[in-house]
Chains A and B, each alone.
Chain A
């Protein structure tokens, strides 16, 4: 189905609810006395939105708003994930001492707007829509990064984010203009037809023969825009600074939400829009435009640089930033195989990554709340001074991030490796494997600090707060369960890989 604007509204309930929430929170801040209500309201809204998205699953598929966005298995999968990411960020904000005194109405409204933007990033099927969604997310993220007034680090991080983001999205915009000029349309469906005709000399005279170099350039420029969202080398430079400078819940949202949304947009653009499906689970790049090998290199460089740089970090936020760069590299392994099983592995990994990374950030938040420290010293002897459960959870998250069984992270990596080995990409497989070993070193540093180091004599005891503890507990159990029995997740990823192109 391909619906007009008015007809699309019943299918946009989650987005509509988010939009109402954004406006409502801005207004309510003016009238409500007890500000804590606002955060709880935001929590309810994100939960309700996630439920609404879940209800759409398995229903009708189609294009909404005259082909601007798609409602298909793929977008529903990512909206679920992003809704949960928004939920997690709101939950963490409610339990964060940093955020207690800031303007809660505006803050939560902005969090909901980021979520809304990410929803559209995941479902846009038109370059205009994709660009608008990306900019929406980016610009609100700049504000959120520098949200804490008086925080010098936050302001600097916001400026860096803005500059890198502005250039990257500008480059993407320029690349899109080239695609538009060649294909004569902003619509992904139309672009894909033109691309398919590329080998045979053009369709409708829109593409002239010999356009491959231009298309290649255009794709590289688009890659800059999405690559910056997913923190892919060489567009990653902002991420350590921004992760360190931003408030912790925002950092968590950037690392699990923005990255997933960026990947969703990237997949939609590079797969259905510019590649052809052979009907048998494999995708073919447009004739003469070999972006695949470029991304193979990018994947290897991204994971290696992320892991090597993480080795010498003492600030855990910064360490997790580099770790998240490395994980972008791992996820790219699934992106470059040009096959459905690679995409499914990526989607699976994003779920797992959401669980374990959000968990790690929440434990960090508990430590930060207690001690005001976000460096590795804050974790020293955590297990021996009353924080046995948070330490155990952190242990699970760290080993899962390192990719050790029997935790979910291993299964995620296993699927990614399976996808590339099926395509016989041995070099990538070996590089990816060695990177896992390197990454273990810095994850184990945190484990060592928590368990092997004794706390200082005068170290204050650790009291786990219940609010964050609940989230950590749920995520830790999920990491463990999905490490042993992951059938539902993989079934969901399998089912969700369907692009509606009209």
Chain B
């Protein structure tokens, strides 16, 4: 399995090409083809999971080729514990989302072609180890996302799509400037992320600070951290179910992934300086703010969207603590949030498909109408609340353990926010699933086989990781400990390079 990462990235792209060649009317064949091209990456991800060497922090399954030698741009792919987790998540969610998109009737061909392009972009982002390549993949995702929201979305889809597009592009532009600054700071100039990390000790503090800020804004828009979060509720509300799943499950993780991949190992001094305000304090504020906003929502999807903002706050807080527990908890939380939020959005989507609205006060007593559905739903809700025995509990506890060592005050605030989370979750549960049955929806059919196929794997993962978190923790621990140590042990360079002329 040489080139496994390349295959995983480009098989969906090949699928897109195949779909573009198919006749427009063959909707069933197009759906099956799309599904077919997301299965091999999933199998490969399983293979990666089985064959990944958990004892080394070095990059694995490396591939390297020249691309544009005159600018020293290379094609480098490789994974460590951090990225392999994200690749697993991506490979898992993509077929599920294809299943969730089975009901799309409008422009089927375009939808699945764009979806596969998005899939390729996402996988590429997590595999790329050349900054330029990373940037290309990062940007390639924007376009399909714009169309998937803008064409297949809800009422205000055009507004939501362009808002998403502009916000993320603003972030990427800053990222490009930081990328070029790093490129020219290194002698010889390079985009090779491994070299950029190795040379981290030579970057002066001022250089690191400015570059860190530019990168951070780019990533914070994606997380999304307050105050860059306003695109998220709009995008989520308008996007079709599957796209919401991808957005919350994978795209948000790219923000935190980027911080861990770039800011931490490449700019450790700045990370030391910035972690408290930009990550820990802001992350805690995200937790509280997201939860408070979620409590005020009347639309189920918007509630889940704001809960995402809240949950991503734990990731930021966890990584900022720079303790082994905190940073491991953060990445575990990334994975767990990916699965749990995916379930929540899928569950909302199931109701929406049947009732064509998502108002919390528009339902009632669904538990007796749709028992199987409610069973799965309860797992997701309790997991989102952080109940022991389910996956998010472990990651949130790890984050809080780390936070306690780092700043007890923040840990207390973050921990109390769990009450808020329980508040809005239970409130929604009570209004939608319990109470008297709303006659209008008394005959709503329960989940069908397709919906069970897409929900069950996630539910199983949520339960398994609740009792056996080491399946993921073993994967990430070595790499994250190494990244953490880079930051902790960083000292300012002895002599500034001649190139260092930043103000």
Residue ranges of A at the interface with B (Cβ–Cβ < 8 Å): 399, 404-406, 410, 414, 417-418, 421-422, 424, 426, 429-430, 433-434, 436-437, 440-441, 444, 448, 451-452, 486-487, 490-491, 494
A405 close to B174 (CB less than 8 A): no
- A406 near B180 with CB under 8 A, answer no
> CA A314 – CA B177 in complex, angstroms?
32
Whether B176 lies near A414 (C-beta < 8 A) is yes
Complex CA–CA separation, A491 to B166 (angstroms): 33
Contact of B140 among A406, A418, A434, A448 (CB under 8 A): A406
Given contacts A405-B136, A406-B136, A440-B169, contact A421 B68 (CB under 8 A): no
- CA gap between A205 and B161 in the complex, in Å: 66
Residues of A within 8 A of B161 (CB): 452
| Structural contact, B139 and A421, CB atoms closer than 8 A | no
Cα distance A486–B150 when bound, in Å? 31
A494 CA / B502 CA spacing, docked (Å)? 29
Q: A417-B176, A437-B170, A452-B151 are known contacts. Are A444 and B162 too (CB-CB below 8 A)?
A: yes
Determine if B147 and A433 form an interchain contact, defined as CB atoms under 8 angstroms apart: no
Of A418, A430, A491, A494, which contacts B180 at CB under 8 A?
A418
Q: Given A406-B136, A417-B177, A451-B151: A434 and B158 within 8 A (CB)?
A: no
Interchain Cβ contacts under 8 Å between A and B, 29 examples:
A404-B139, A404-B143, A404-B169, A406-B139, A414-B176, A418-B71, A418-B180, A418-B184, A421-B180, A421-B184, A426-B177, A429-B177, A429-B180, A434-B170, A437-B169, A440-B165, A440-B166, A440-B169, A441-B166, A444-B146, A444-B165, A448-B162, A451-B150, A451-B151, A452-B158, A486-B68, A487-B68, A487-B70, A490-B70
- Minimum CB–CB distance from A254 to chain B (whole Å) comes to 29
Q: How far is the CB of B345 from chain A (nearest CB, A)?
A: 23
Residues of B within 8 A of A414 (CB): 176
User: At the interface, yes or no: B31 with Cβ under 8 Å from chain A?
Assistant: no
Smallest CB separation, A282 vs chain B (Å): 15
Across-interface contacts of A486 in B (CB, < 8 A): 68
The chain B residue sitting closest to A418, CB to CB, is B180
Report the bound CA distance from A424 to B499 in whole Å. 10
The residues of B that contact A434 with a CB separation of less than 8 Å are: 170, 173
- Cα(A434)–Cα(B170), bound, Å: 7
* Besides A424-B502, A440-B166, A451-B147, 9 other A-B contacts (C-beta < 8 A): A406-B139, A406-B140, A418-B184, A433-B174, A433-B176, A441-B166, A448-B158, A452-B161, A487-B70
Partner of A433, one of B150, B166, B173, B181: B173
Contact B139 A405 (CB under 8 A): yes
Query: What residues of chain A lie closer than 8 Å to B139, measured between beta carbons?
Result: 404-406, 410
B146: nearest residue on chain A (CB-CB)? Answer: A444
Bound form: Cα–Cα A433–B136 in Å: 16
Measured in the bound complex, the distance between the Cα atoms of B136 and A436 in whole Å is 16
Using Cβ atoms and an 8 Å threshold, which residues of chain B touch A417? 176-177, 180
Task: Write the nearest CB–CB distance from B337 to chain A, whole angstroms.
Answer: 28
Interface SS majority for chain A: helix
Contact with A along B309-327 (1 / 0, CB 8 A): 0000000000000000000
Taking a contact as CB atoms under 8 Å apart, the answer to whether B147 and A441 are in contact is no
Which chain B residue lies CB-closest to A453?
A: B158
Most chain A beta-carbon contacts within 10 A, residue among B68, B146, B173, B184: B173
Q: How far is the CB of B165 from chain A (nearest CB, A)?
A: 6
Q: Are B68 and A452 in touch, CB under 8 angstroms?
A: no
Query: Hey, which chain A residues are within 8 Å of B136, CB to CB?
Result: 405-406
The residue of chain B having its C-beta at the shortest distance from the C-beta of A410 within the complex is B139
B61-82 interface mask toward A, CB cutoff 8 Å, 1 = contact, 0 = none?
Answer: 0000000101100000000000
- When A and B form their complex, which 8 residue pairs have the shortest distance between CB atoms, in order from nearest? A433-B173, A421-B180, A405-B139, A437-B170, A405-B136, A452-B150, A422-B184, A437-B169
Instruction: Decide: A421 and B181 in contact? CB cutoff 8 A.
Output: yes
Distance A357 CA – B501 CA, assembled complex (angstroms):
38
Residue B369 CB within 8 A of the other chain: no
In the assembly, what is the distance between CA of A23 and CA of B181, in Å?
Answer: 54
B257 within 8 A of A: no
Q: Interface 1/0s, chain B 237-276, versus A by CB < 8 A?
A: 0000000000000000000000000000000000000000
Q: Give, as a whole number of angstroms, the nearest-CB distance from B109 to chain A.
A: 10
Residues of B133-165 whose CB lies within 8 A of A = 135-136, 139-140, 142-143, 146-147, 150-151, 157-158, 161-162, 165
Chain B hits for A421, CB < 8 A: 177, 180-181, 184
A441-B70 contact given A399-B143, A418-B180, A429-B177, CB 8 Å threshold = no
Least CB distance, A351 to chain B, in whole angstroms = 16
Is B285 close to A, CB under 8 A? no
The reply on B231 being an interface residue by CB < 8 A is no
Q: Is the Cβ of A437 less than 8 Å from the Cβ of B166?
A: yes
CA distance A359 to B408 in the complex (A): 60
Q: CA of A490 to CA of B69 in the docked complex: distance in angstroms? A: 11
Identity of the chain A residue whose Cβ is nearest the Cβ of B167 in the assembled complex: A437
Considering only CB atoms, which chain A residue lies closest to B142 in the complex? A404
CB of B212 within 8 Å of the partner chain: no
Q: Is B183 an interface residue (CB 8 A)?
A: yes
| Interface residue from A399, A410, A430 paired with B177 (Cβ < 8 Å) | A430
| Complex interface: chain A residues within 8 A of B183 (CB) | 418
Q: What mask results when residues 492 to 503 of chain B are scored 1 for a CB within 8 Å of chain A, else 0?
A: 000000000110
Of A417, A436, A441, A444, most buried by chain B (CB within 10 Å of CB) is: A444
The digit string for B410-439, where 1 denotes a CB below 8 A from any CB of A, is 000000000000000000000000000000
Closest B-chain residue to A402, C-beta based? Answer: B169
A331 to chain B, nearest CB (A): 18
Against A, the Cβ 8 Å flags (1 = close, 0 = not) of B178-222 are 001101100000000000000000000000000000000000000
User: Are B151 and A436 touching (Cβ within 8 A)?
Assistant: no
Contact assessment for B173 and A452 in the assembled complex, using a CB-CB cutoff below 8 Å: no
In contact, A433 and B177 (Cβ under 8 angstroms): yes
B130: min CB distance to chain A, Å: 13
A311 to B144, alpha carbons, bound, how many Å?
23
Contacts of B68 in A (CB 8 A): 486-487, 490
Q: Which residue of chain B lies nearest to A438 when distances are taken between CB atoms in the complex? A: B166
Q: Which residues of B contact A429 (CB under 8 A)?
A: 177, 180
Chain B residues lying within 8 Å of A441, measured Cβ to Cβ, are 162, 166
Complex CA gap A486/B136 in Å reads 14
Contact A452–B177 (Cβ < 8 Å): no
Q: Which residues of B contact A424 (CB under 8 A)?
A: 501-502
